[in-house]
Amino acid sequence: MDAGMKDIWLYVQHRDGAVEEPTYGLTAEARRLRASLGGGGLVTAVVLGNGPVAGLEEMGFHGADRVLVVDDERLAERCRGDVFARALAGLAERHGPACVLMAQTAETLDLGARSAALLETAFISRVMDLQVDEDGVLHAHRPVANGYLFERLRCTDPKAPIIAFLPAVLAESVPEGETRAEVLAESMGAVSLDGGARVLRVEEADPGELDIEEADIVVCGGRGVGRDADFDIIHRLARAIDGSVAGTRPIIDWQTLPYERQIGQTGKTVMPRLIVNCGISGANEYTAGMEKAQVNIAVNTDPRARIFRFADLGVVADIHRLLPHLCERLEALRGHEPPAAGKD
């Protein structure tokens, strides 16, 4: 079938029965892609899980034509990426979309790679832009070398590629129109739970170790904090408020934190309840990854720093003078032991 007639799929991420934000940004990408491919296919959202998800018909207001829902008790455990992948691959085999779009998170990196392996197609992660050339071939642009270089990939394989967008590049989708999406129940097919992973128990992660995309509270340090031992104050504050530690690109370049803790356009997008930005100027490549946080606190010595435009609470202060006192007070309140002398 002509690619222009095929549907554009987007994978719906949901939690506690509600659709998560990056999904809506994908609908805009899907509509744009459909127009570039000739406009014949349907923008189709795909929901996998066990139990109701609210607001699926309303995905039509964001541009989805229809929603395929696989609601099955075999999809009760989100950590069974192998089972989700078999469900998604089976669905894609039956319907034959032009491509499957995802917002990149820890969950979709696992799901996308596994589904692509089953479908024997390409999985392209970290995508910032997707274009269609005059021959209808998809071109994906993505950063390499930690954002210092870009590469362009041509998807010449006729099989539907799976494409994960960096969430920071997905525009916020404002509902438009009043057309509801058609919601269709789909069966999961003969997927067995045997083999693959077995869940023995689920353990609560230490907040400091939590993936920054999953964390409720994030403490992020920038160049103004300094490297190595100077950065200990950020870990100390994070411990005191049960936060997860993140950094701007200079911190990752200095190898003070690993790349998976970078926030920004070429790092991760975080949407915590609270983010504390310490010694960060607020370059737009950084703020693209944190501006959706609910409450923003910024500490910077420069009152004109751009980060203050995003702050609900801004403090003009030197991190290394302010934070030790703040941490002492917080530790005393919570009955925590202060760190050994000489360390922050």
Q: How far apart are CA 230 and CA 129, in angstroms?
A: 37
Check if the beta carbon of residue 247 is closer than 8 Å to that of residue 257: yes
Q: Report the residue number, 24 or 286, with the smaller CB distance to ligand FAD.
A: 286
CA distance 3 to 1: 6
CB of 328 to ligand FAD, least distance (A): 18
Contact between 270 and 245 under an 8 Å Cβ cutoff? The reply is no
Closest alpha carbon to 179 in 260, 65, 289, 266: 65
Cβ neighbours around 217 below 10 Å, total? 18
Residue 36 structure tokens: 């570039």
Q: Contact residues for ligand FAD (CB under 6 A)?
A: 147, 222-224, 248-250, 262-267, 279-281, 283, 285-286, 289, 299-302, 305, 318-320
Q: What share of the chain is helix, strand, coil (3-state, %, to 5)?
A: 30, 25, 45
Nearer to ligand FAD, 90 or 267 (CB): 267
Q: How far is the CB of 177 from ligand FAD (least distance, A)?
A: 34
Quote the least distance from Cβ 261 to ligand FAD, whole Å: 11
Could you tell me the smallest distance in angstroms from the CB atom of residue 314 to ligand FAD?
11
State the minimum distance, in angstroms, from the CB of residue 212 to ligand FAD: 12
Closest approach of ligand FAD to the CB of residue 30, in Å: 24
Distance CA 175, CA 172 (A): 10
Helices (H), 53-105: 81-95
> Closest CB to ligand FAD among 67 and 234?
234
Nearer to ligand FAD among residue 66 and residue 249 (C-beta): 249
Q: Which residues make beta-bridge pairs with 100?
A: 9, 162
The smaller minimum CB distance to ligand FAD, of residues 30 and 252, is found at 252
Neighbours of 312 (CB within 10 A): 11
Nearer to ligand FAD, 47 or 299 (CB): 299
Burial of 342 (0-12, 13-18, 19+ CB in 10 A): exposed
Cβ nearer to ligand FAD, comparing 179 with 301: 301
CB of 140 to ligand FAD, least distance (A): 16
Helix axes 232-240, 319-334, angle to 10 degrees: 30
